[in-house]
């Protein structure tokens, strides 16, 4: 890993498993900052696109009962 301080890496790897897991979670979460708002905008745009398609009748919906029945059949 270029640029990583070997002392930091060594100290992190020598932590007890629970502390390493907490550190890993915090490091991963720090990479995701700001993406929640972006994802929310993308999902909203997709939901609006799908609603428009349903309202314009360019697609037809599938009743929930049928979706659940099909899913149950496939999971058997």
For residue 44, the Cα-to-chain-centroid distance in whole angstroms is: 15
**pLDDT of 1 higher than 60:** no
pLDDT digits over 9-18, tens only?
999 999 999 9
pLDDT digits over 26-59, tens only?
999 888 776 777 888 999 999 999 999 999 999 9
**Whole-prediction pTM:** 0.46
Q: How far is CA 52 from CA 19, 38, 40, 45, 56, in A?
A: 48, 21, 18, 11, 6
């Amino acid at each position: 890993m270029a640029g990583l301080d070997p002392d930091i890496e060594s100290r992190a790897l020598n932590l007890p498993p629970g502390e390493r897991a907490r550190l890993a979670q915090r490091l991963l979460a720090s990479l995701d900052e700001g993406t929640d708002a972006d994802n929310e905008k993308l999902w909203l745009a997709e939901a609006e696109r799908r609603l428009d398609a349903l309202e314009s009748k360019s697609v037809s919906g599938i009743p929930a009962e049928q979706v659940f029945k099909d899913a149950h059949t496939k999971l058997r």
